[in-house]
Amino acid sequence: MNSSMLLSVVTFVYAFVSVLYIGSWTFKKEIMAKVGLYVLIAGFVGNTLGIILRWIESYQMGYGHAPFSNMYESLVFFSWTVAALYIFVEFKYRERIIGVFATPLIFLAIAYASLSPSIGDRITPLIPALKSNWLIAHVITCFLGYAGFAVAFGFSIMYLIKPTDHKNGGLTARLPSLALIDELTHQMVMFGFLFLSIGIITGAVWANSAWGTYWSWDPKETWSLITWLIYATLLHLRMMRGWDGKQIAWVSIVGFMAVLFTYFGVNLLPGLHSYA
Amino acid sequence: MKHSSNQGCVSDFVVDRTGSEYGPPVAVYIKKHGYLRILVGFKGKSGMTSRKKKFGSNNGVWKFFTSVKLTVFVLLILAATSIIGTLIPQNASQGFYLQKYGEVFFSLFKGLNIIDMYHSWWFLTLLGLLAVNIIVCSIDRLQTTWKIIFPDKVSFNLERFNRMPAALRFDCEKEADVLEKACHKLLETSVGPVSVKKNDGGTALFAEQRRWTRLGVYVVHLSILFMLAGAVIGSMLGFKGFVNITEGETTDFIEARKGEHKHIPLGFSVRCNDFSVSFYDTGQPEEFKSSLTVIEGGKEVLTRDIVVNDPLRYRGISFYQSSYGTASAKNVRLKYTSKDSGMVYEKTLSFKEPLILPESGGTLILDRFANGYQFRGHNLGEGFVGRIVPEKGSETEIFISVRFPTFDKMRQGKFAFEVDGFDKKYYTGLQVNKDPGVWYVYFGFILMIAGCWITFFMSHQSSCIYITGGDGRQSRIMVSGFAHRNPQGMKLKIEKLAEKIKDI
Ligand code: HEM
């Protein structure tokens, strides 16, 4: 079994997880979310093994580099970070249903990696510019940041679809309390902001050691800065202008759109970063 | 009040007077959905009873710069305008813009400096505005919060702990003084030094920790100032340039990247001893490597190999491996065929070394290596330019192409020359930068990470255990506390503390 096959299996496991969480919510069966968590952990273990296996394979092929070097590998790692963060949040806050909008993101990222015909899963050697330990630090921290924002995005969607009056007992009323969703969104944004900051910083230090400039305004750098500015705005709106709830949920959604553009959209623009 | 429109179900206000019982109120806690939300640093018309007038407090310009509205505005404008530069390629040639966007847009771009927008006056002004905003805002706020962060004497208000919604109350089957001793120890180990207050009802034990974390936000803001300062220092005192050095050659100046052909002297010399490139079996380049020697005052000071991601630094100037090319050749193996006899000869040659041709064909001299030889409007690629000096008559220039071995045959000369092989002599392309501001920027990076960590994940927490002696073995206990942020974490902490007390 090679890493690509293992990761394809993981894709299906994550699909099952999403089904369980959404099912738990729609059919009002808590047991499904309970099972969902264990399946998610199983998928996460598989995901971890897949990444490690791929690392080993790259050594066997004589290239020997960490599996963070192309779109396929970065998407697989994105799923991994979102899964890790979500599992952490569920254990910390002991609230089951909150996975409804976060777990599909885990599935979508790895599914896109495995199934999109334009994304190859071959292991390729590293070009000289990518040969740096900063690459590993940079990719891991950026993706932890993205994961924080992704989970915050899931929570924001949940906040917006939940009605404020609790009288109608529809589907959406079964979601956790608005106050908790709001609090969790904020926690995730802070987590994401810290790691995006570290990600941009490690990227800058790396660029300085490779090209001699820590900042060159290439489109990827600029878009990560735009994302960072949007979330800095969010923090100030919340801390200083008293924004919360719906308003913050919307800003968090706009921020995540910027994350997505930084991740995917920038490839349409000319620049240094060949992937992720 | 600013946030009145967003209050939701405000049910309780608590004015924080931590630190100085009679000081100005500095925070408003808003209870919403059963959670405590804190709007830190509340100040303004209501409640601001500072005894000393604050610096700049009635200056309009000053007020303008203390506004967080301005911050939000500047951050968003910076984000929005930054997009432009990612859509319109920066610092390309004039021809590129004319062709892609036409005359009208080109003059518009030029007028608004969009061609190099991140260095345009208006973008730099926005960054300047941000810096002033941060400085003024921090000074303004520190005037009110400094006393809270570093009070002369820390004092506690039992009533305030009593009002916290997170407070827990329970009974305990122990005598009050036994409990008091145990709780004292518990607070001391889990929080910090304990101060004790007795009133007629019972005993209150207070402790606090991490008061200094209130400074975290200022550290974040200071980090931005360091980064901006570093960028300014770098652009004023540093330079960015490049140089191509052929293997075996030495240079003591480089060319500026901006401004055509501006020479920048290095103050010492650099020699390229050797350049090599290796490839993976897929054909992708694996590594570019140059061996460089620094020569100063006629002496070789330092010899080092550099690769991408591992530059040479000397006297504040860094040399980065950035490109390479073929500058020249050595050990050129020539094959030449006589038109008359059909004989094929071979010889290995260096430049300027005369080759006496057989059959009284004269002398061949190779003059130079050509990277892209132009012949009737065609680029013939790499090859060698030489001349044939006949025994009598005038000499002819010839070109021996590497890619097209039969090219010289078309000349219909006495011999047709072709290249059988040669050793490449490379030049290494180096990016050469000096940036004395980089250390300020790096220091800013460290402050940013530390500041965010402190701000997001640590908080100033005060805890209180209040013990009321009941009759004999029954005691009533209240455990309470508050934090300047993350009330949820504080609630958990209180619960944990209560668990431990019950276990006593
Ligand atoms: C790129 C620039 C900036 C960044 C990255 C930044 C970052 C931050 C962060 C991370 C926080 C903490 C938010 C929280 O507690 O969750 C904060 C709070 C704050 N920022 Fe900024 N900030 C920036 C610019 C400014 C400027 C220009 C001002 C000037 C008015 C400002 C004023 C404040 C204030 C007053 C607070 C609240 C402080 C407190 O909690 O006591 N910030 N900022």
Are both B360 and B434 inside the same structural domain? no
Per-residue pLDDT, B13: 33
Per the CB < 8 A criterion, the answer to whether A60 and A123 are in contact is no
Using the Cβ of B442 and the Cβ atoms of chain A, whether some distance falls under 8 Å is answered with yes
For chain A, the distance separating the N- and C-terminal CA atoms, rounded to the nearest angstrom, is 27
Are both B268 and B122 inside the same structural domain? no
Residues of B in contact with A178 (CB under 8 A): 33
In this complex, the residue of A63, A209, A232 whose CB is nearest that of residue B75 is A232
Per the CB < 8 A criterion, the answer to whether B25 and B171 are in contact is no
Three-state secondary structure of A107-155: HHHHHHHHHCCCCCCCCCCCCHHHCCHHHHHHHHHHHHHHHHHHHHHHH
Of B98, B123, B149, which residue constitutes the final position of a domain? Answer: B149
Per the CB < 8 A criterion, the answer to whether B109 and B88 are in contact is yes
Where does B358-395 show beta strands of DSSP type E? 363-370, 374-375, 378-379, 383-389
Q: For residue B450, give the DSSP letter.
A: H
Residue B54 lies in a domain: no
Per-residue pLDDT, A40: 92
Structure tokens at A64: 């020997």
Closest Cα of chain B to A19: distance in Å?
Answer: 31
Of B101, B126, B149, which residue constitutes the final position of a domain? Answer: B149
Structure tokens at B89: 């390629």
Rounded to whole angstroms, the Cα distance separating B418 from B399 reads 10
- Dihedral pair phi/psi, residue B85, rounded to 5°: -70, -15
Query: Which residue, A213, A214, A207, is CA-closest to B258?
Result: A213
Radius of gyration from C-alpha coordinates of chain B: 39
Rounded to whole angstroms, the Cα distance separating A231 from A258 reads 10
Query: Which residue, A220, A230, A217, is CA-closest to A257?
Result: A230
What part of B 192-231 touches A (C-beta under 8 Å)? 231
At B441, the amino acid letter reads: V
Are both B230 and B320 inside the same structural domain? yes
- Dihedral pair phi/psi, residue A156, rounded to 5°: -65, -45
Per DSSP bridges, beta strands B374-375 and B363-370 are unpaired
Residue with tokens 């207070």: B206
Rounded to whole angstroms, the Cα distance separating A37 from A27 reads 17
Q: Do A230 and B79 touch (CB under 8 A)?
A: yes
Please give the residue of chain B at the shortest CA–CA distance from A251.
B76
Per the CB < 8 A criterion, the answer to whether A33 and A21 are in contact is yes
Are both B263 and B205 inside the same structural domain? no
Domain carrying residue B477: 2-44+163-210+459-502
Please give the residue of chain B at the shortest CA–CA distance from A187.
B456
Q: Do B308 and A210 touch (CB under 8 A)?
A: yes
Complex-level ipTM: 0.89
Q: Of how many residues is chain A composed? A: 276
Residue B155 lies in a domain: no
Neighbours of B482 (CB within 10 A): 28
Are both B322 and B438 inside the same structural domain? yes
- Which of A91, A201, A221, A246 has the most B C-beta neighbours within 10 Å, making it the best mutation to test the interface with B? A201
Name residues whose C-beta falls within 8 Å of residue A90's C-beta, 6 or more positions apart in sequence: A37, A96, A98, A99
**What is the secondary structure of A212-223 as a DSSP string?**
S-S----HHHHH
Q: Do B33 and A124 touch (CB under 8 A)?
A: no
Q: For residue A162, give the DSSP letter.
A: S
Q: What is the residue-level pLDDT of chain B in tens, covering all 504 positions?
A: 333 333 333 323 333 333 333 233 344 444 443 344 444 443 333 334 444 556 666 677 888 888 888 888 999 999 999 998 888 888 777 888 888 888 888 888 888 888 888 888 999 999 999 999 999 989 988 888 888 888 777 778 888 888 888 888 888 787 777 888 888 888 888 888 888 888 877 888 888 888 888 899 999 999 999 999 999 998 888 888 888 888 888 888 888 877 666 888 888 888 988 888 888 777 777 888 888 898 988 888 888 888 887 888 888 888 988 888 887 777 889 999 998 888 899 998 888 888 998 888 889 998 888 877 888 888 888 889 999 998 888 888 999 988 888 888 888 888 999 988 888 888 888 888 888 999 999 999 999 999 999 999 888 888 888 888 766 677 888 888 888 877 777 888 888 888 888 877
Per the CB < 8 A criterion, the answer to whether B418 and B336 are in contact is yes
For chain B, the distance separating the N- and C-terminal CA atoms, rounded to the nearest angstrom, is 46
At A273, the amino acid letter reads: H
Distance A258 CA to ligand 1 centre (A): 21
Are both B315 and B239 inside the same structural domain? yes
Report mean pLDDT in 10-residue bins for chain A, 276 residues: 83 92 82 88 92 84 74 89 92 81 90 77 70 84 94 90 64 70 90 96 90 86 94 89 82 95 77 43
Name residues whose C-beta falls within 8 Å of residue B86's C-beta, 6 or more positions apart in sequence: A219, A222, A223, A266, A269
Query: Which residue, B221, B227, B219, is CA-closest to B133?
Result: B221
Residue B122 lies in a domain: yes
**What is the secondary structure of B276-329 as a DSSP string?**
EEEE-TTS-EEEEEEEEEEEETTEEEEEEEEETTB-EEETTEEEEEEEEEEEEE
Are both B124 and B204 inside the same structural domain? no
Structure tokens at B36: 């405590």
Per-residue pLDDT, B23: 32
Residue B218 lies in a domain: no
Neighbours of A212 (CB within 10 A): 25
Distance B451 CA to ligand 1 centre (A): 11
Burial B443-476 (b: 16+ CB within 10 A, else e): bbbebbbebbbbbbbbbbbbbbbbbbbeeeeebb
Are both B398 and B305 inside the same structural domain? no
Per-residue pLDDT, B470: 65
Per the CB < 8 A criterion, the answer to whether B113 and B85 are in contact is no
Q: For residue A209, give the DSSP letter.
A: H
Which CATH number is B288's domain given?
2.60.98
Residue B158 lies in a domain: no
Rounded to whole angstroms, the Cα distance separating B393 from B413 reads 14
CA distances (Å), A117 to each of A108, A110, A121, B282, in order? 15, 13, 10, 22
Distance B134 CA to ligand 1 centre (A): 8
Q: For residue A176, give the DSSP letter.
A: P
Are both B247 and B281 inside the same structural domain? yes
Strand partners, B29: B14, B38
Rounded to whole angstroms, the Cα distance separating B300 from B174 reads 83
Residues of A in contact with B453 (CB under 8 A): 194
Take atom 25 of ligand 1 and give the residue whose Cα is closest. B134
Using the Cβ of B449 and the Cβ atoms of chain A, whether some distance falls under 8 Å is answered with yes
At B396, the amino acid letter reads: T
Are both B233 and B319 inside the same structural domain? yes
Structure tokens at A129: 């510019």
Three-state secondary structure of B180-193: HHHHHHHHHHHCCC
Q: Is A171 in the pocket of ligand 1 (CB under 6 A)?
A: no
Q: Of how many residues is chain B composed? A: 504
Are both B291 and B374 inside the same structural domain? no
- Dihedral pair phi/psi, residue B421, rounded to 5°: 165, 160
Per-residue pLDDT, A151: 92
Per the CB < 8 A criterion, the answer to whether B216 and B210 are in contact is no
Are both B243 and B299 inside the same structural domain? yes
Q: Is B72 in the pocket of ligand 1 (CB under 6 A)?
A: no
Please give the residue of chain A at the shortest CA–CA distance from B118.
A217
Rounded to whole angstroms, the Cα distance separating A91 from A55 reads 29
Rounded to whole angstroms, the Cα distance separating A81 from A92 reads 16
Residue B453 lies in a domain: no
Q: Chain centroid to CA B425: how far? A: 37
Strand partners, B480: B464
Residue B454 lies in a domain: no
Rounded to whole angstroms, the Cα distance separating A155 from A98 reads 7
Residue with tokens 């206990």: B477
Residue B55 lies in a domain: no
Say how many domains are in chain B: 4
